[in-house]
């Protein structure tokens, strides 16, 4: 087993906020940071020792990253699989490339979840629009059609309520095949973030309850307000999937909770996740510290929640209201990611609030009017 020690360099592919928070966690332990990212002034680049400014599939840039790094990780899954695969041949990439290949493609991802023995919604694969028309009766209505590749925060997907809606989804087939999933009548969306080191040591962060607004994560409430039985099943499924994929690093498993408390897996993200940001203040170890420990071959720490915690995303339109409110809310931890432009609906940061009264704090968030839209 390879162990990476303080003073050595961690290479990160992707310069967004997840890379930034990984880098900050790594710096605490004395690691150096190299980042490969197409834009010059990226959130991760601002805290890195070495910035390689190039596209993710640039062969020379990948070779340079390999040369300067003792271990390489990535901060999001929409990087170049072929480039990552080549990198595994010339550098130490403990996560490998196959997890990215699987999670970049909803068809492969759903097949992998089923193979692991975990529940997914009934679905069909449609290589083209005509195939969707032919087989849509296998899932029925309502259903959700999603592009197999790309798409996040609600992009690249449409809900069909009846055959009359079919014409609207033809555009989704312009670039790729699609999957059509039977609509899941869920009562709640939750996520379990599971982390595993090369030795197979595995832990889950306390499960978060996720509330979305306009398909973008708005709040994560921890602990999720579910039964112990649901909690146990969700963690078991997350660990089962992590083991089946031979995970190293971090995997966020997004799930639906049904009326009877059972769960259905929605999708996977092979990296730290927005719904785990609460762990920076809320737990004895954050998802970013644990990720660094995992990819460096260190023993992992069993996560414990200090106190019930709520994480609220800050989009472009929320930055000014929240910074104007700093004096009013001393218990709020404010994180801003160093993005140059506060665009509408762009994730710019988050607020974390630890509390002994979740309902009262949720009321405080509403009454602050910062997130009123």
Structure tokens at 354: 């630890």
* Alpha-carbon distances of 27 from 9, 31, 280, rounded to whole Å: 10, 5, 15
Instruction: Domain 186-368: give its CATH code.
Output: 3.30.470.20
CA 77 from centre of chain: 9
pTM listed for this prediction = 0.96
CA distance 301 to 171: 46
Instruction: Domain 122-182: give its CATH code.
Output: 3.30.1490.20
Q: Which helix (H) or strand (E) holds 355?
A: none
CB neighbours (10 Å) of residue 161?
Answer: 10
Residue with tokens 């990296």: 271
* Alpha-carbon distances of 210 from 145, 191, 272, 331, rounded to whole Å: 22, 7, 15, 21
- The CATH architecture that domain 9-93 belongs to is 3-Layer(aba) Sandwich (3.40)
User: According to DSSP H, which parts of the chain are helical?
Assistant: 17-28, 59-68, 81-90, 98-103, 106-115, 129-135, 228-244, 279-282, 287-295, 319-324, 358-368
Main-chain phi, psi angles of 268, to 5 degrees? -120, 150
Q: What is the pLDDT of residues 338-358, one digit of tens each?
A: 998 999 999 999 999 999 999
Non-local (6+) Cβ contacts of 333 within 8 A are 280, 281, 351, 352, 353
CA distance 236 to 249: 18
β-bridge pairing 123-126 and 178-182: antiparallel
Residue with tokens 């925060």: 153
Structure tokens at 96: 């490998």
Write the DSSP string, 96-160. Answer: -SHHHHHHTBHHHHHHHHHHTT--B--EEEESSHHHHHHHGGGT-SSEEEEESB---TTTTEEEE
Task: State residue 118's pLDDT score.
Answer: 98
* Alpha-carbon distances of 299 from 95, 196, 302, rounded to whole Å: 16, 10, 10
Closest to 347 measured CA to CA, from 278, 239, 274, 269: 274
In the three-class reduction of DSSP (H, G, I as helix; E, B as strand; rest coil), residue 52 is classed as strand
Burial per residue of 273-285, b for 16 or more beta-carbon CB atoms within 10 angstroms, e otherwise? bbbbbbbbbbbeb
For the chain, the structural domain boundaries read 9-93, 122-182, 186-368
Average pLDDT per run of 10 along the chain, which is 373 residues long?
A: 95 98 98 96 97 96 98 93 95 97 96 98 96 96 92 78 94 91 96 98 98 94 98 98 98 98 97 98 98 98 98 97 96 96 95 97 97 85
Q: What is the pLDDT of residues 202-253, one digit of tens each?
A: 999 999 999 999 889 999 999 999 999 999 999 999 999 999 999 999 999 9
Burial per residue of 67-76, b for 16 or more beta-carbon CB atoms within 10 angstroms, e otherwise? ebbbbbbbbb
Non-local (6+) Cβ contacts of 228 within 8 A are none
Contact 82, 252 (CB under 8 A): no
Task: State residue 58's pLDDT score.
Answer: 95
């Amino acid at each position: 087993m390879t162990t990476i020690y303080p003073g050595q360099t961690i290479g990160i592919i992707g310069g967004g906020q997840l890379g930034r928070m990984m880098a900050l966690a790594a710096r605490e332990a004395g690691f150096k940071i190299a980042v490969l990212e197409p834009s010059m002034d990226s959130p991760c680049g601002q805290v890195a020792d070495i910035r390689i400014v190039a596209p993710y599939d640039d062969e020379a840039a990948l070779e340079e990253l390999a040369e300067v790094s003792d271990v390489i990780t990535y901060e999001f899954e929409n990087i170049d699989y072929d480039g990552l695969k080549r990198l595994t041949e010339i550098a130490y990439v403990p996560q490998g490339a196959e997890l990215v290949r699987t999670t970049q493609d909803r068809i492969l991802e759903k097949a992998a979840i089923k193979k692991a023995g975990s529940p997914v919604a009934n679905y069909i694969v449609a290589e083209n629009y005509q195939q969707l028309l032919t087989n849509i009766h296998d899932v029925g209505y309502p259903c959700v059609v999603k592009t197999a590749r790309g798409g996040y925060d609600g992009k690249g997907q449409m809900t069909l309520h009846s055959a009359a809606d079919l014409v609207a989804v033809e555009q989704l087939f312009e670039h790729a095949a699609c999957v059509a999933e039977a609509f899941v009548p869920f009562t709640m969306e939750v996520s379990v973030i599971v982390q595993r080191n090369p030795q197979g040591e595995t832990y889950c962060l306390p499960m978060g309850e996720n509330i979305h607004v306009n398909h973008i994560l708005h709040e994560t409430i921890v602990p999720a307000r579910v039964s112990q039985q649901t909690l146990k099943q969700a963690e078991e499924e997350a660990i089962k999937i992590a083991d089946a994929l031979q995970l190293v690093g971090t995997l966020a498993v997004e799930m639906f909770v049904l009326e009877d408390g059972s769960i259905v897996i929605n999708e996977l993200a092979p990296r730290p996740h927005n719904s785990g940001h609460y762990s920076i203040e809320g737990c004895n170890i954050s998802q970013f510290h644990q990720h660094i420990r995992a990819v460096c071959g260190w023993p992992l720490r069993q996560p414990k929640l200090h106190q019930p915690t709520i994480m609220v995303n800050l989009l472009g339109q929320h930055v000014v209201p929240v910074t104007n409110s700093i004096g009013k809310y001393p218990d709020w931890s404010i994180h801003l990611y160093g993005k140059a432009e506060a665009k509408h609906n762009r994730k710019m940061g988050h607020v974390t609030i630890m509390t002994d009264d979740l309902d009262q704090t949720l009321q405080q968030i509403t009454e602050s009017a910062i997130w009123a839209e």
